[in-house]
Structure formats: structure tokens, C-alpha cells
Amino acid sequence: MTQSEVDYSDVQGLVRFGYKLMTEASYVLLRVRDVAAARSWLRSAAVTSAVAMNPPPSSAMQVAFTADGLKALDVSASVVGGFSAEFLAGVTEENRSRRLGDVGSNAPSRWGWGYSANVPHLLVMFFSVPGQLQAFIQASTGNVWKEAFQELRWLDTADLNGLEPFGFPDGISQPQIDWTRERDVTSAQIDYSNIAALGEFLLGYPNEYNKYTDRPVIDANSASAALLPAEDAPDKKDVGRNGTYLVLRQLSQDVRGFWQFIYRQAGGNAAEVEQLAAALVGRTRAGDPLVPLREQAIPGVGPDQIRQNQFTFDKDPSGRRCPFGAHIRRANPRNTDYPGRPDNLITRLITMLGFGPKGFRDDLTSSVRFHRILRRGREYGPELSPSDALAPAPPDDPERGLHFICLNANILRQFEFLQNAWIANTKFSALTGESDPLLGNREPIPPFPAAADFNRQEDGGLRRRVSGLPQFITVRGAAYFFLPGLRALRYFAGAGNT
Amino acid sequence: MTPQSSFMVLAAIDSEREADLRQLLASMNDAPGRVNANNALIPFGQCDTLHFARLVILNDKTVNDVREYGLPTRTYPMYLAFLGDVDGDADAFLEELARLAPKGLSSLFSCCEGFTPETDLLAWMKKHSARPIASYVNWRGRTVRRIREEAILREALEDHIQSHSAALSNLPPREIRATLQRFVNAEKSAGRLTLTTENSTPIGWWIRNLLHLIGLPFLFLLASPLLIVMAPFIIIRLRWLEKTDPEVCPRVDQAYSDEMAKLEDRDVTNQFTAMGSLKPGIVRLWTVIFVLLVVDYGARHIFTRGRLARVRTIHFARWVFLDARKRMVFFSNYDGTVESYMDDFINKAGFGLNAVFSNGIGYPRTNWLVRDGCADEQKYKNYLRRHTLPTQVWYKAYPGLTATDLERNARIRRDLESLSLSEQETREWVALL
């Protein structure tokens, strides 16, 4: 069956592009002050679509809404209620915080924004090529804007030349979206692939289970006339189609703490400093993985990404090259549906019945294809090199960090699963007493002390353990947004008017 | 080897005493989802052979789903279930419990029908026992005592390695092991470490297990002519049923889900209690009984070493029929969040899950009994969450430890004590530390 192609003009550009050439960006969190004015601004807002342009545009604007935001715009309760439970409850829901590790110093009650009265309604993101951002923001906002919105907070970003504040290349590994829906997701995945079903990143299309993720699907009427029909219910209109969820987390990074800790652990030995830092991340500061590249190509890893992404951890089953707990091994274990790659029906059946590989660490991690996210974050704060980071902080040391942004069609199964089962989990991959070396909050799990270790396996020798890892990253604010398709955005802007 | 067994006391709650019972149950916790191991009613912490225990009010919110199948709605009593997994004989454990906490148990059961101050507690508990149709133990023979001793052993080794890392790190694997063996022996002599050797397997249990191992396939063989004749009819009927049985998988009420979430993720392990009505008709009943007998057989004789098919996160699980096999309840203790638990099942053991649970009312549509079903991920998750019950009191004897932790600790101990290890095995052992 040939699938209708995705209407890129209905998709916000961020889903398809990272806007790398637009090195300047600023995000603003808004609360609706006046509903009519807010809708009026939204109707005329020049939101950038995912249509490829030549030459590429010099600026872009994207708009996303929280559940509170949709309610504030008087979008009907039956429509809002069709969104996912985690979007509706929000990231600060108490039980969710426990799962995400947003406790202790990460607790929502300590956030600068995103909690209680500080929950934003809208996120508007401005991107531009160097030198034009302020003018673009000026031109995009205008008088109606001031009437419509209360600006809760501006989140400025910094261009650190592709590095995140600790000094490692950021966003190297991204899933490749199967825009044309060519990949067969129904058969078991035996070999690692970097290609993900369209429905993992856009609502209204089949996901990795070949199912349509829940979203608001409504009756056709004059208000919803412009919306696209639902593929799985053609007589209904799909509010979710071409939209996706956007998770925003402001992660403050203690750059000085990070490098000073590593420097102390390494006894000041420059080579050992680099090695330990690379072990924590799972890549060198040049972005190279710690495991050897595969000779065989990986679907969805382009020719320009071979050096940094044509690898899996299959050749490092004992974790001696890349520690099991290294950040990138947690965030993407690069595994498949079955351990040991059973390539025929019989071996697969044997594995399925539990008679496959029996090693201590075999088959502990969920198949990664159900847990991918598309990262679109940007850094903030001034650059600080690892050597400068060794100096004590001046009294007015500015905050540095990452405005972490990820896109996914199912927050629970993608972002939250990844954050909980892989990043925060102190038992990931049969480890114990350690959480993600970068993102972990080091909170204890009674009766055990704080989970603040990091272990490196040695060839035939004892593991080398780093203990007392401080918390390097603190959550300062977060929210779950819906990044609608452009038709849905206009539908929200017209809500209640008709 | 000391085999594990399970107990479950099941009694209808006196509807007038429900509120009192809930209050009593709450009094056993320090906070929601956090039991006080030394609570005044049942001090679980004093039971050296108890792995897991729970007290849960069985109140099925989905009981009216039977209407979708054209069945009359029935009213069932609300039950109190008190269950646990123990080392050795379950009856012996109940006797110990009746001695340890007669007052607490009596005050709990006095909220149930038919329990008066004159009632003989032990006899009443035995009379109200409910046997599972199938049950699973992560690691047959691994006692609470062994788990605790091995956890202490690992910690002692860890501390020793950490404080002697400079001396140890340059040694070859065999010498590291020899050094650590000497350390452990010294600690044992000084009385700071205990590593109890296994008890011998009770002869009665051994014979029963052997009879089960041979007997069930034998009975199956005997019945096979009949089964072969009936199979086509059953298959045709099942195919028709699975194509027409209505699905009942609406989204879960958020408040209900939150109520359960409040009790979850307080430890690395979680409890799970789910119940529902079985689909009508004898074919469905026979199917579920047959599948569960197979599961039980597999769990008893094949999957006794840390894995239920591919799933490695379950400590104990069991299926119990209720109300003359009109309803079923499933209990388990698993590592990780409920989300990862459900994913594990869908992606690793979906076939087994479908074969059992698709005989429950409302389950997502299957194909040849084992396919599809839970692969409709969101429907399945809605279905499961909707059938899940809040577990009021839940005890685990080894907080902070996952099934994988237990396996690691057991491997550390086994190969520490092993008389001959190859070079490769020694390297792998060192890597576990």
C-alpha cells in the first residue's frame, strides 16, 4: 500500500530540522493574559513549517502548548481530554517526579519555573541566523502580543559551537525518521537500526507497534473542517495529526564541579582526566565512541555520521571499553528485539521461550526501538573550557546548562521510560549503586546510601570505582508541551470563536 | 535445597467493617506504599523465612464489564487477601505466624465474615486458604537467609576491595580471588560473616516434585486421543471467539491510576495485583486452565533459575481463581516501574501473556491465541491498568535489591566457594565484584 506523503507544510519545522545554521535562539514561556488577543496573535503568527526551502530561511518560529495552555485558550474539554494522561497531568505530578528523579534538589518546588503558578501556557521558540534574533523577535511579537500574554520567562540560548557546557559534542546521535513509512515494523528487529517509525515522532501515523498513538480525534464540524482526517478513522478529524509532544527541561550544569571532580579523581594527570571524562560520557571530547566502529553499515546512519555513530555495544559485552553506566550507553543501549541476534525462526523461538543467551548481563534491557527520542535542545550560559573550569568560581559566576528539548509521540513510553528505566535507574544493566554519571541525582534508595558510584570494568582485573560522584546537573524547570501541526494550531486559535 | 511455597488466606469482608479494616491496614504502613516491617499487627520483619507478603482488598472495579458479553452482572463479596511467599512449608509458616501475631491477625480477620473472638485463628486461616492454579518462583531454593547472607558477603567484599584497591588492582584474577577467599575465611572465623550451607531437600517434596514432573505429561499423553479428537472443535470455537469477543480497554480513570501510583516506586521492586472476570463458556475456561497448567509446569520444572521465559524481573508471581472460576486474580512482585514491567511483557513474553490473559473479559483482540493482543500496546496498557488494584500493605524482606542483584550476589558466593574455576570463569567472577 502506498502511503500518502506527509504534508510538510502542516508540520512544525523543528520535527524535521535542528536549525543548526540559525545559531541564535531564544525561547519564551508565556501565560495567557487575554484569550481573544492570544488567539488573534496565534492566527496571524508566522509559524515555520517543515517544508524544505532553498535557500534555507534565516529565521524560524515554533509554538507549543501545555495542557493548561489549551484550557486557557478555551479549547473544549473533550478535545483536551483526548491528549495523553502524562501531558494532561504535567511533569510535576508527584508520582511522576519520583520516577523521573525530580526529587531532592531537582524537586519541582525548587524550580525557577514550571511549578504551581509558574506553569507556562505556551512556549514560543525563536531561531535566527547570527545577528537577526532581536529584530525577528520584535517583528514577530508586536502590540497584540503584549495584550495577549504575560511573559513568564525568557530562556536565552548560547551557541557553544556544537558543544554542550561540559565540552562534549551534543546531539550527535539522533534517530532517523522514516518519513516515507518504508520500514516494516511488524517483524522482529534482529539487527540494530537507527530508523524509527514516523509515528514515534508524529501523531496520526503508525508507531513502532504499527498502531496509532492515542490523541484527540473529533467529529467533523464547521470548526474542525480544516483539520486532516484521522488515518485510522477517516470520518473523524485528527487534532493530533502532524503534531507531537515536546518535553522541555532546563538542566543547570555545574561545569566547574564536573571538571574539578574529575581532576581530583585523576590526581591531576591530564591523560587520566580525559579518560575518566570520556568514560562517564561514553565518548571522547572529539565525539568518538569508546567502542570500535562496525564495518557493516547501520540503517539510518548517514555517510557523514559513520565515525561517530556506526557502532553498537555488541563487541563490548563486558563493558571494558565503554562502561555499562556511561551516559550514552544508558541513553541508547543500541540493542534489538532479541539478544544474540537469532537470525532464523528456530533460534528465535528458542530465545523467545527463554533458552537463549544465559549470561548474567544478557537480555536485561528493553528493546531500544520503542524508546527513542528526537533531541532538539540548546545550551545556555557562557563557554567555560575544562582548564578554566578548574579555577574557583567567581562570586557572580553565571549559570550554564542545557535547555533540554525532546520530541516524542508517547511521553510515557519514550522520554519518561528513558529517563526512568535507563538514566535514573540505579539498577540499569545489572549495575547497582550508580545512576547516570551526568544526569543522576545521587538520591539514596533506602536502606542503601546515595547512588553515587561509577564503575569501569578492567580487563581481567578489578573494576575501577569512582565514588562520591556529586550531582552535576540540577533541574531548574520543566514542562510537557504539545507541538501541534499547523492546521491544529489554527484550530486552537479559532477555538470557541465559531 | 529448601523449596519455596506460598500461602494465601482469602476471606469475604464484613461490609460493615470495611472502613475499620482499611484503617487497620493503613496503620501497618509508615506512609502509603511503605510498610512498617515491625508494625504492631503483623511484624513481618520477625519472620526469617518470609520473602514477600501483602494484604490487599480485592474489589474489582471492572466487574460490570461482563455486560459487554451479554452476561448478568453479579455482586461478589469484597475479599481480603493475605498472601506471602516463604521458605519451606506454607502450613508451618502459618503456624509460626499464628504464634507470632495472634492479636494482630485476629483483629484484621475480625473484619471478615465468620470470624468471632472464639474462632481458632490457625484453623480459620487454613480453612480460608486459596491455592494458586499456577505460581512462579524466581530462583527455586534461594532462601531469605541465603539472600541476606550473600548481600552481606558482597558488601563486605566491596568494602574490603575499596580499602585495599591499591594492593589488589595489580594482581592477576586468580590471586585476587585467592586473596578475597582468605579475607572471607578470616571474616567467617571471626564470626563477622556467615555463609550457611544448604539444607537437604525434604524427601516428601522431592517425591511430589518428581511425580508432578512425570505425572502431568503422562496424564496429558493418556488424554491425548480425546484431545486430538476435540482439538479441531476447540480451535474453531476459539478462533470464532477471539474474532468476536468485545474489547473493553477504555482509558483509565486518572484519579484511580494516581491512587495506585502513590503506592508504587517506593523501592526498586514493586507489587502488582490485578483481577478480572473470565470470559463465558467452557472453551475459554478449559483454555485458561490448560495454559496455566503449562505455565505452572514450566515454572516448576524449567524456569527455576532466574528467568520466566525471557523475563528476569519477577521475584514471585501467582494466578488464583476466585468465585467458582468466574474470576481470576494475578499477583506478582517485579523490579522497575509498572511501565517497564508492561513493556517487558509485551516485547519479551507477549505470547504467554496473551495465552493466559486473553481469556479475561475485555482483553485486546488476539490472533491464534498468542499473537497480537498485547501488541496493541496502548489498549493493553489501558486494560491492565484498569484491572490493577491498589495493594494496601506490601512487604519485601530485602529492600533495595533486585532479582538481578540477588543473582549477582549468588554468583559471587558460588564462585568464591567453587573448588575449581577456569581462568575465564575467574576473570568473569572478578568482573562481578
Give the pLDDT mean for A271-291: 97
Per DSSP, what are the bridge partners of residue A125? Answer: A27, A62
Contact A376, A408 (CB under 8 A): no
Position of cell 550560559? A381
Which among A353, A433, A458, A333 is positioned nearest to B408, based on CA atoms?
A433
- B245 and B366 in contact (C-beta within 8 Å)? no
Peptide bond connecting A299 to the previous residue in cis, omega within 30 degrees of 0: no
**Pick from A227-236, A287-296, A351-360: least confident:** A351-360
A413-452 pLDDT tens trace: 999 999 999 999 999 999 999 999 999 999 887 778 788 9
**For chain B, what is the radius of gyration of the CA atoms?**
24
A137-184: pLDDT as tens digits: 999 998 899 999 999 999 999 999 999 999 999 889 999 999 999 988
CB pairs under 8 A between A and B: 119
Residues B221 and B132 in one domain: yes
pLDDT band at residue A1 using 50, 70 and 90 as cut-offs: very low
Question: Using an 8 Å Cβ cutoff, are B390 and B270 in contact?
Answer: no
Q: What is the mean pLDDT of residues A486-497?
A: 84
3-state helix, strand, coil in chain B (%, to 5): 50, 20, 30
Q: What angle do CA A308, A312, A316 make, to 5 degrees?
A: 115
User: Pick from B376, B378, B400: which is nearest to A447 by CB?
Assistant: B400
Which residues 185-214 on chain B approach chain A with CB closer than 8 angstroms?
none
d(CA B250, CA B177): 56
A152 within 8 A of A118, measured Cβ to Cβ? yes
A148 contacts A41 by C-beta, under 8 angstroms: yes
B265 interaction partners in chain A (CB closer than 8 Å): 95, 98-99
Q: Residue B92: which residues within 8 A CB-CB, separation 6 or more?
A: none
Strand pairing partners for A49?
Answer: A12
Amino acid at A470: P
Strand partners, A482: A65, A245
Looking at the fold, whether B378 and B411 belong to one and the same domain comes out as no
Same domain, B242 and B372: yes
Mutate to test the interface with A, among B138, B154, B378 (most CBs of A within 10 A): B378
What pLDDT score does A446 carry? 74
Q: Using an 8 Å Cβ cutoff, are A374 and A15 in contact?
A: yes
Q: Which amino acid is located at B109 in the chain?
A: F
Rounded distance between C-alpha atoms, residue A296 and residue A293, angstroms: 9
Q: Torsion over CA of B72, B77, B80 and B84, rounded to 10 degrees?
A: -40
In terms of CA atoms, which chain B residue is nearest residue A430?
Answer: B404
Q: How many Å apart are CA A101 and CA A91, to the nearest integer?
A: 11
Same domain, B24 and B43: yes
Task: Please check whether residues B228 and B362 belong to one and the same domain.
Answer: yes
Beta bridge partners of A158: A379
The alpha-helical segments, DSSP class H, found in A85-203 are 85-89, 94-100, 133-148
pLDDT at B262 over 50: yes
Domain count, chain A: 1
A487 in any annotated domain: yes
d(CA A207, CA A201): 8
- For residue A346, being part of any structural domain is answered with no
Contacts of residue A177, defined as CB under 8 A and 6 or more positions apart, other chains included, come to A15, A16, A195, A196, A198, A200, A201, A202, A374
- Measured between beta carbons, which residues in chain A are less than 8 angstroms from residue B307? 354
- ω into residue A447 within 30 of 0, thus cis? yes
CA-only gyration radius of chain A, Å = 23
Summary mean pLDDT of chain A? 94
For the cut 90, the answer to whether the pLDDT of residue A25 exceeds it is: yes
pLDDT at res. A179: 95
Residue-wise pLDDT for B323-340, tens only, equals 999 999 999 999 999 999
Cα dihedral A419/A425/A431/A432 (nearest 10): 150
| Per-residue pLDDT, A498 | 42
Contact criterion met (CB below 8 Å) for A28 and A151: yes
Q: Are residues B414 and B343 part of one domain?
A: no
Taking the CA of residue B325 and the nearest CA in chain A, the distance in Å comes to: 28
Mean pLDDT of A348-365: 90
Q: Do the Cβ atoms of B335 and A366 come within 8 Å?
A: no
CB proximity list for B244: less than 8 A, separation 6 or greater: none
Q: Given CB atoms, is B31 within the 8 Å cutoff of chain A?
A: no
The residue segments making up the domain with residue A224 are 8-248+478-494
Residues of A in contact with B255 (CB under 8 A): none
Among B24, B47, B38, B3, which residue's Cα sits nearest to residue B204? Answer: B3
Task: Say yes or no: B152 and B286 in one domain.
Answer: no
Full domain range(s) for residue B159:
144-197+402-432
> Cell digits for B220?
496429558
> Per-residue pLDDT tens for B121-158?
999 999 999 999 999 999 999 999 999 999 999 999 99
Residue A287 lies in a domain: no
Nearest to A89 among B254, B307, B430 (CB): B254
Backbone angles phi, psi at B135, to 5 degrees: -145, 160
Residue B74 CA: distances (Å) to CA of B14, B62, B66, B71, B130: 18, 11, 9, 9, 21
Q: What is the mean pLDDT of residues A50-64?
A: 95
> Chain centroid to CA A160: how far?
19
- Residue A365 to residue A349: CA distance in whole angstroms: 19
Q: Which three cell numbers stand for residue A402?
A: 542545557
pLDDT for position A497:
46
Whether residue A54 is contained in a domain is answered as: yes
By CB neighbour count within 10 A (0-12 exposed, 13-18 middle, 19+ buried), where does A285 fall? middle
Predicted confidence at residue B174, as pLDDT, reads 93
The total number of structural domains that make up chain B: 2
**Selected residue of A337, A350, A427 to mutate for chain B interface (largest B Cβ count, 10 A):** A427
| B15 class by beta-carbon count within 10 Å (0-12 exposed, 13-18 middle, 19+ buried) | exposed
Q: Write out residues 222-251 of B within 8 Å (CB-CB) of A.
A: 251
Q: What is the mean pLDDT of chain B?
A: 95
DSSP state of A354: I
Q: Give the up-direction half-sphere exposure of residue B144: CA atoms within 13 A in the CB hemisphere.
A: 21
Contact status, residue A454 vs residue A280, Cβ threshold 8 Å: yes
| Nearest-angstrom CA–CA distance, A275 and A271 | 6
User: How does residue A4 score in pLDDT terms, banded at 50, 70 and 90?
Assistant: low
Closest by alpha carbon to B298, among A249, A354, A338? A354
In a domain, A391, yes or no: no
3-state secondary structure of A247: strand
Taking a C-beta distance cutoff of 8 angstroms, is the pair A65, A42 a contact?
A: no
Q: Where are the alpha helices (DSSP H) in A358-478?
A: 417
DSSP string of A179-210, one letter each residue? TT--S--SSPP-S---EEEGGGTSTTSB-TTS
Res A256 pLDDT > 80: yes
A254 within a domain of the structure (yes/no): no
Cβ pair B340:A95 closer than 8 A: no
CB B10 within 8 A of CB B130: yes
Please report which confidence band the pLDDT of residue A239 belongs to, taking 50, 70 and 90 as the band edges: very high
Strand partners, B53: B84, B395
Q: Are residues B69 and B13 in the same domain?
A: yes
Sign of CA dihedral A159, A165, A171, A173: positive
B-chain CB neighbours of A366 within 8 Å are 340, 343-344, 347
Residue that is written with C-alpha cell 578489578 in the block: A462
Average pLDDT over residues A238-247: 98
**Which residue would you say has higher pLDDT here, B46 or A446?**
B46
CA distances from B410 to A94, B415, B416, B418 (A): 36, 9, 10, 12
Give the 3-state secondary structure of residue B273: strand
Beta-carbon separation of A425 and B257 below 8 A: no
> Distance between alpha carbon A391 and the CA centroid of its chain, in Å?
32
Of the candidates A223, A222, A261, A210, the residue with the CA atom closest to the CA atom of residue A370: A210
- Per-residue confidence at A340, pLDDT binned at 50, 70, 90? confident
Between CA A276 and CA A200 the distance in angstroms is 34
| Short-list B314, B308, B316, B317, CA closest to B334 | B314
**B 371-390 residues with CB < 8 A to A:** 375-378
Interhelix angle B282-301/B338-357, nearest 10 degrees = 120
Q: Which of residues 35-94 of B touch A (CB under 8 A)?
A: none
Does the residue A352 lie in any domain?
A: no
Mutation site, B154, B337, B409, interface A, largest A CB count within 10 A: B337
Tell me if B98 sits within 8 A of B5, measured CB to CB.
no
